[in-house]
Amino acid sequence: MQPIDINPLYNSIRNGLREFLSKYNEKNSPPKVAFLMVGSNPASASYLNSKRKLAGKLGIESVTIQLNEDIGRKDLLGKIEELSSDDSINGIMVENTIPAGTGITYSEAVDHISPWKDLDGSGTVNLGRTAKGISSIEPATARSVIETVRFLKVPVGTKICIINRSITVGRPLAMMLLNSGFTPVVCHSKTIDLKSITRSSPVVVSAVGKAGMIDASYLSDGSTVIDVGINSVEGTIRGDLNTGDISAMNIKYTPVPGGIGKLTSILIFDNLRLSLMRSEI
């Protein structure tokens, strides 16, 4: 097995972003983003903290809003709308771990963010524009996968199996891959004979959310695994791929941590760049 070093791709995006922000800040106040999290999911909290630190390194101001998991629907939507209407805030990111007890889903929550402040691109307007292949803020996780596919020079037309159908990964990624000429196959928990599909796919994108689930029985020699899983296990972050089980196989894979999660973090701020560019037009 061989871990994929995505640092050259990460550094290229980061350097381009820094150059843009340097020029932007010559004429404007530093941009400001808001991170909102409901509850205390450990993996989500770790991811949010890494984004907050990255914002500081890039010279982007940030504010973190931590809400109790027993917050009511009205108060949660009110806070999101308050942030969205605040002219001093250029972008908003809501963590995708909203407890069911709030009475509101993540999908509904992000629809209360102004489309060009929706840094994760998960609102209905941005998803619709992504589906049409026109200018939009694309979901950052899905964008990190397709940027990795291009970085690896995967041939156009290649069959790519996505194990996820969420609005943040599977669905937008399938649309983005189709728009770029690839052949996506979307699988999920009810897919019949999943292993036969993954074994016949040169590229497997896993966002199952179960640590170590993807073992050797899911893969064929020579395949590439793009591991989107971020799972908290005994204080550590692990991906969906069981790296111990595939140690003897010829498999390339993105590591966790240090892979897709890291790339997604910088792309969230690159989505901010796209929003700021639009505001200057």
Which pLDDT score, from 0 to 100, does residue 280 have? 47
Q: Which residues of the chain have pLDDT under 50?
A: 280-281
Q: Specify whether 119 is located in the same domain as 215.
A: no
Q: Specify whether 255 is located in the same domain as 146.
A: yes
Q: Specify whether 97 is located in the same domain as 162.
A: no
Which pLDDT score, from 0 to 100, does residue 281 have? 35
Question: How many residues does this entry show for the chain?
Answer: 281
Q: Looking at 78, 99, 125, which one is the last position of a domain?
A: 125
Q: Specify whether 207 is located in the same domain as 178.
A: yes
Tokens of 218: 């899911």
* CATH number of the CATH domain containing 190: 3.40.50.720
Q: Specify whether 149 is located in the same domain as 48.
A: no
What is the spatial distance between Cα 112 and Cα 34, in angstroms, rounded to a whole number? 14
Residue 270 covered by a domain: no
Residue 42 covered by a domain: yes
Residue 7 covered by a domain: no
User: 181-196 in b/e burial notation, b at 16+ Cβ within 10 A?
Assistant: ebebbbbeeebeebee
Q: Specify whether 87 is located in the same domain as 52.
A: yes
67 neighbors 36 (Cβ within 8 angstroms): yes
Which pLDDT score, from 0 to 100, does residue 4 have? 97
Residue 228 covered by a domain: yes
If we measure between CA atoms, which residue out of 149, 162, 113 comes closest to residue 271?
A: 113
What is the spatial distance between Cα 278 and Cα 32, in angstroms, rounded to a whole number? 16
What is the spatial distance between Cα 234 and Cα 241, in angstroms, rounded to a whole number? 17
Other beta carbons less than 10 A from residue 227's beta carbon = 25
Number of domains forming the structure of the chain: 2
Which pLDDT score, from 0 to 100, does residue 167 have? 86
Q: Specify whether 166 is located in the same domain as 256.
A: yes
In which residue are the tokens 């010829």 written?
A: 250
Query: No. of H helices and E strands in the chain?
Result: 9, 11
User: What is the separation of C-alpha 167 from the centre of its chain, rounded to a whole number of angstroms?
Assistant: 11
Which pLDDT score, from 0 to 100, does residue 279 have? 58
What is the spatial distance between Cα 273 and Cα 267, in angstroms, rounded to a whole number? 9
Residue 274 covered by a domain: no
Range of the domain at 86: 27-125
Residue 88 covered by a domain: yes
* CATH number of the CATH domain containing 88: 3.40.50.10860
Element (H, E) at 9: helix 7-27
Which pLDDT score, from 0 to 100, does residue 234 have? 83
- pTM metric for this prediction: 0.90
What is the spatial distance between Cα 195 and Cα 216, in angstroms, rounded to a whole number? 10
Q: Specify whether 102 is located in the same domain as 180.
A: no
119 neighbors 268 (Cβ within 8 angstroms): yes
Q: Specify whether 121 is located in the same domain as 192.
A: no
Q: Looking at 67, 97, 125, which one is the last position of a domain?
A: 125
